[in-house]
A and B are shown apart, each in its own frame.
Chain A
Amino acid sequence: MFEAVLWISVTFISLAMIGLIYRVIKGPTVADRVVALDAIGISLVSVIALVSIVLETSAFLDIILLIGILAFIGTVAFSKFLEKGVIMEYDRNGNR
């Protein structure tokens, strides 16, 4: 029963990731693609949690934190690049 629930959940999340990849490819603006990529990173975290239950190991659970941090940093860098054209500006006053 629990095994069936796990596989149903993996199927749901995989279908969700396929839909998000559709939005990454088609998305009219760059901001759409960044939103979809952020959601893919978040979905990858739950896939890793389910895989570590299926394989009965806790070795993958460190990767969850790693992917969460990387997804957040990637989203912040993309949005700063969209807004200002640079990721890290040199001027302390904020005007390039």
Chain B
Amino acid sequence: MTEMEIVKFFAGLFILLGAFLSLVTAFGLIRLPDVYTRNHAASKSATMGVMLVLLGTFLYFWLIEHHFNSRLLLGVLFIFLTSPVAGHLIARAAYNSGVKLSDRTVQDDLAKARKKMKAEGQLK
């Protein structure tokens, strides 16, 4: 009985932390000023949150229901691999399609690099 309680405590802790990180993601997307900072919020805390929730679910099904579900681990691995790639692709597409940075941004290194490449004739 007590082992069940311990397992349930840790699974519930992971799930609660993951749900809290999802809420942090939503606050980031609502409050942050431009698409690049929002993308930062969405691609980091959402990934960590869903990985924690899936880990808690995996522990619950493995130790309470005695059902080792390898697809949950595969889902954790897949989301861990693909979510940063998706975030990078959206940010690059936004920059190349001309979305403006926020007014409070102080540094844009990519603009300088692109100007230099354009002067050397490597970029169109």
Contacts and interface: CB of A to CB of B under 8 A. Distances in A.
A1 B29 contact: no
B19 A8 contact: yes
Interface in A10-61: 10, 12-13, 15-20, 22-23, 29-32, 34-36, 38-39, 42-43, 45-46, 49-50, 52-53, 56, 58, 61
Given A2-B11, A35-B29, A75-B90, A68 B19 contact: no
Contact of B30 (A1, A22, A45, A68): A22
Secondary structure dominating the interface of A: helix
Secondary structure dominating the interface of B: helix
Contact-residue bracket for chain B: 35 or more
B79 to A, nearest CB: 5
A69 interface: yes
Nearest to A36: B29
Interface of A: 1-2, 5-6, 8-10, 12-13, 15-20, 22-23, 29-32, 34-36, 38-39, 42-43, 45-46, 49-50, 52-53, 56, 58, 61-62, 64-65, 68-69, 71-72, 75-76, 78-80, 82-83
